[in-house]
Amino acid sequence: MQSINDMETKNATELTEFIFTGLTHQPKWQVPLFLLFLIIYLITIMGNLSLITLLCNDPQLHIPRYLFLGNLALVDIWLSSTVTPKMLLNFFAMSKMISFSECKIHFFSFVIFSGTTECFLLATMSYDRYVAICNPLLYPAIMTNRLCMRMLISSLTGGLLHTLLHACFLFRLTFCNSNIIHQFYCDIMPLFKISCTDPSVNVLMIFIFSGSIQVFTILIILVSYTLVLFTILRKKSAQGIRKAFSTCGAHLLSVSLYYGSLLFMYVRPGSTRADDRDMMDSLFYTVIIPFLNPIIYSLRNKKVKNSLTKMLKRNI
């Protein structure tokens, strides 16, 4: 005869499929939102793929700065392709269900390339700019190909280990009351809200590890760009000031948008904000930022624009 605890455990593991609420329940908004995000997704993929192609084909861009930029574009493609297609399908799908196994794969794939790897990439890009501007004569000796590859591999490895940690703790959760995920993709925080198992340990792990990674990489970025700013401003010229804002302003804007949305979503797990506010933060982080990055990092870059112009002239 089964005990009550055994029956409760069995019931707690019965829910293995989840339903996304999506962005809207109003039919009048489904078509406009679908078209809007389809256009954003296509531009995101085309923009980042074009940037990668450009960086691969132009020997003048085969330097560390553009190696990091190309990998950032690859990360943005992966991030956008992990989240957006499922969101677009759910606008018109009769069933918005996803299995727990698919949800774990979704979460695992999403966090490796978006949450952690991109943080490390942004930090390495800021360090590269610091060395190039503050120590230009030593730049070739410091930013060697070996160091660049180590930094890229470390970024990916850090993302992988960080994700494995949270994925392992995700297996301890059970779901028995609700299978409604108030989100348009399978993120970990909405799962905590519907878990029958106390997610305090999971939340603590996110707060400690995700918070530490974000603080560590933010400090690297802030220190690097602060030193860059001081180095340029020492020249005391209008051209130097313009160069400082051109070098630091666009990058810091992108970093602020990226880390701002991350901080709201993951480093404040005890927040009482509404689900729709969480969804807007997630939308900005997963859809809008990969769309903006090619514009911020490429169209404001003179070498990239010149390379693009030459490529277009060759193809005409």
The tokens describing 65, both together, are 């700065």
Q: Which residue has the higher pLDDT, 275 or 190?
A: 190
Domain count, the chain: 1
| pLDDT of 236 | 63
Higher pLDDT, residue 111 or 49 = 49
Tens digit of each residue's pLDDT (9 = 90 or more) over 24-35: 777 788 889 899
SS3 19: strand
Tokens in use for 257? Answer: 């948008």
pLDDT at 297 over 70: yes
* pLDDT exceeds cutoff 60 at 9: no
The residue-averaged pLDDT of 183-209 equals 83
Whether 267 maps to a domain, the answer reads yes
Residue at 287 is within a domain: yes
Q: 152-165: per-residue pLDDT in tens?
A: 999 988 888 888 88
Whole-number Å distance between alpha carbons of 49 and 56? 11
211 domain residue, yes or no: yes
In a domain, 1, yes or no: no
Average pLDDT over residues 297-303: 72
Domain that holds residue 153: 12-315
Q: Please check whether residue 37 is in contact with residue 84, taking contact to mean a CB–CB distance below 8 angstroms.
A: yes
Say which CATH number the domain at 69 has. 1.20.1070.10
Contacts 24+ apart (CB under 8 A), 221-230: 221/122, 221/123, 221/126, 221/252, 221/255, 224/126, 224/127, 224/129, 224/130, 225/126, 225/129, 225/130, 225/251, 225/252, 227/130, 227/134, 228/129, 228/130, 228/133, 228/134
Residue 16 has pLDDT above 90, yes or no: no
- Quick check: is 52 in a domain? yes
Cα 102 from Cα 191, distance rounded (Å): 13
Of residues 205 and 262, more confidently modeled = 205
Give pLDDT, residue 154.
92
pTM of the model: 0.83
pLDDT of residue 87: 86
- Beta-carbon contacts of residue 193 (< 8 Å; ≥ 6 apart): 182
